[in-house]
């Protein structure tokens, strides 16, 4: 079975695709996914439709469904209907998690728009997330028992990551390891599942499936860690340097500073433990972090993980799919520099 219904929309691609034929094919299929997502957000109630469509209509990179479509290029049944369905499953799951995330973070803006909790209220936002999770579950059931098992395990780890983000590390657990576990749950697992779904439903070999899962796990966490670095090191990342610092969000460079416990870190640690809503204090803290060896250590860690992600792709044949995935890992490494 195959799906082909090109639309006049040409979505931007969140992965670096250099092969023109592959790019055209992915754009056409991503447009189909986009159209179907809009349908899955509809309800018999106009209010529920409005709430469920709110973040979808705000845009987004659609990285996860694109990864499903790209991974499907590794199998003989690239155009299977199940691949499109799986792409919708992962994006609906992602969107649902954002509704819950924004409530937990008390966020007011996402993608330049009011969050659902800001536009409506926390109850509506939470229940809308549940509605989208239900839509995702219904689609997963259409994909069969194996997909249900994968989705259940993915969802459990995703929720676990969200819970762990809000609690202190258990006694004896390194805060850096705790942070990595949070990111593996909140980000890495759904990216890994996206790659797995594409390969699985296109009929790719088990070795290819496993390689793509390993890649997704690693590159997903590395991408979030590069955001940790950009919060401190970049003036061109789209947000004010030190935003996470000011909000008290743990980041890899800060956790590495706290772990280093060097005598010369006293002033920096004092600032990290202070009220950073003061602009001068924040600027001083950012400057000290930029000069600290922990920033270079964090960069080296991200770059090593990016190389590890590329190495995981060894079972994939040479070609535009592997090239695109390797290029994305390179972007993750470079954006942290």
pLDDT digit string (tens) for 240-269? 678 889 888 899 999 999 998 777 899 999
- The backbone region for 4, taken as left when phi is positive above 0, alpha when psi lies in -120 to 50, beta otherwise, is beta
pLDDT mean across residues, the chain? 89
Closest CA to 70 of 154, 243, 232, 191: 191
Q: Is the pLDDT of residue 23 over 90?
A: yes
Is the pLDDT higher at 3 or at 30?
30
**Residue 126 CB coordination number (10 Å):** 17
Question: For the chain, which residues make up each domain, given as ranges?
Answer: 16-204, 206-336
Confidence of residue 5 (pLDDT cuts 50, 70, 90): very low
Q: How far apart are CA 208 and CA 248, in angstroms?
A: 40
Sign of the Cα torsion 30, 137, 192, 233 reads positive
Q: What CATH fold (topology level) applies to the domain 206-336?
A: Farnesyl Diphosphate Synthase (1.10.600)
Mean pLDDT of 169-189: 95
Query: Is the Cβ–Cβ distance between 233 and 288 less than 8 Å?
Result: no
Q: Which residue has the higher pLDDT, 13 or 39?
A: 39
The predicted pLDDT at position 110 comes to 60
Counting residues of the chain whose pLDDT is more than 90, the rounded percentage is 71
- Residue 139, pLDDT > 80, answer yes
Instruction: Quick: pLDDT tens for 48-63.
Output: 898 888 888 877 889 9
The dihedral through the CA atoms of 102, 123, 178, 332 has a sign that is: negative
Cα separation, 190 vs 56, in Å, equals 18
Residues with Cβ within 8 Å of residue 200, at least 6 apart in sequence: 86, 146, 147, 209
Residue 256 CB neighbour total at 10 angstroms: 22
How far the first Cα of the chain sits from its last, in Å, is 45
pLDDT at 209 over 70: yes
d(CA 67, CA 290): 33
Q: How far apart are CA 239 and CA 237, in angstroms?
A: 6
Contacts of 67 (CB under 8 A, 6+ apart): 15, 191, 194, 195, 198, 216
Cα 121 vs. chain centroid, distance in angstroms? Answer: 25
**Calpha distance 219→229 (Å, rounded):** 15
Long-range Cβ contacts of 255-263 (<8 Å, 24+ apart):
255/175, 255/176, 255/179, 256/176, 256/294, 256/297, 256/298, 257/289, 257/292, 257/294, 258/175, 259/174, 259/175, 259/176, 260/293, 260/294
DSSP-based three-state secondary structure for 114: strand
Say yes or no to pLDDT of 67 above 70: yes
Query: What is the three-class DSSP state of 162?
Result: helix
For residue 232, what pLDDT is reported?
Answer: 92
Q: Measured in whole angstroms, how far is the alpha carbon of residue 110 from the centre of its chain?
A: 14
- pLDDT, greater one: 173 or 110: 173
Is the pLDDT at 117 greater than 50? The verdict is yes
| Intrachain domains 16-204 and 206-336 with the same fold | yes
> How high is the pLDDT of residue 3?
43
**DSSP-derived secondary structure letter, 19:** -
- Quickly tell me which residue has 């600032």 as its tokens: 271
Query: Does residue 134 register a pLDDT over 50?
Result: yes
Give the mean model confidence (pLDDT) for residues 35-40.
Answer: 95
Lowest average pLDDT, out of 4-18, 19-33, 147-161, 286-300, goes to 4-18
Percent of the chain topping pLDDT 70: 91
At 113 the three-state DSSP class reads: strand
Length of the chain: 337
Q: Which CATH number fits domain 16-204: 2.60.40.10, 1.10.645.10, 1.10.10.10, 1.10.600.10?
A: 1.10.600.10
pLDDT value at position 54?
A: 82
User: 304 with 273: CB under 8 angstroms?
Assistant: no
Confidence of residue 107 (pLDDT cuts 50, 70, 90): low
Q: How much is the pLDDT for 57? A: 82
């Amino acid at each position: 079975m195959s799906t082909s219904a090109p639309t006049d929309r040409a979505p931007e691609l969140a992965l670096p695709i250099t092969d023109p034929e592959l790019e055209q094919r992915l754009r056409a299929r991503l447009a189909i996914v986009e159209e179907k997502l809009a349908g899955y957000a509809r309800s018999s109630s106009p209010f529920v439709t409005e709430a469920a469509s709110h973040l979808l209509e705000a845009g987004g990179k659609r990285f996860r469904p694109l990864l499903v479509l790209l991974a499907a290029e590794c199998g003989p049944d690239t155009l299977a209907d199940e691949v499109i369905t799986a792409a919708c499953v992962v994006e609906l799951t992602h969107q649902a998690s954002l509704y819950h995330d924004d409530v937990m973070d008390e966020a007011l803006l996402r993608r330049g728009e009011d969050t659902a909790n800001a536009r409506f209220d926390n109850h509506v936002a939470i229940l809308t997330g549940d509605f989208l999770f239900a839509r995702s579950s219904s689609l997963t059931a259409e994909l069969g028992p194996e997909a249900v098992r994968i989705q259940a395990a993915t969802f459990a780890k995703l929720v676990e990551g969200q819970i762990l983000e809000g609690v202190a590390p258990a006694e004896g657990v390194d805060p850096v390891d705790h942070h990595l576990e949070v990111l593996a749950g909140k980000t890495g697992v759904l990216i890994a599942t996206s790659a797995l779904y594409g390969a699985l439903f296109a009929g790719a070999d088990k070795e290819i499936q496993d390689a793509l899962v390993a890649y997704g796990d690693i590159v997903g966490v590395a991408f979030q860690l590069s955001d940790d670095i950009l919060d401190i090191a970049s003036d061109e990342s789209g947000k004010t340097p030190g935003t996470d610092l000011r909000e008290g969000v743990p980041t890899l460079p800060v956790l590495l500073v706290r772990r280093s416990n060097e005598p010369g870190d006293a002033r920096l640690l004092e600032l990290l433990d202070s009220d950073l809503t003061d602009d001068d204090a924040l600027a001083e803290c950012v400057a000290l972090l930029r000069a600290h060896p922990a920033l270079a250590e964090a960069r080296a860690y991200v770059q090593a993980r990016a190389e590890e992600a590329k190495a995981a792709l060894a079972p994939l044949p040479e070609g535009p799919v592997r090239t695109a995935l390797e290029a994305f890992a390179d972007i993750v490494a470079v954006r942290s520099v």
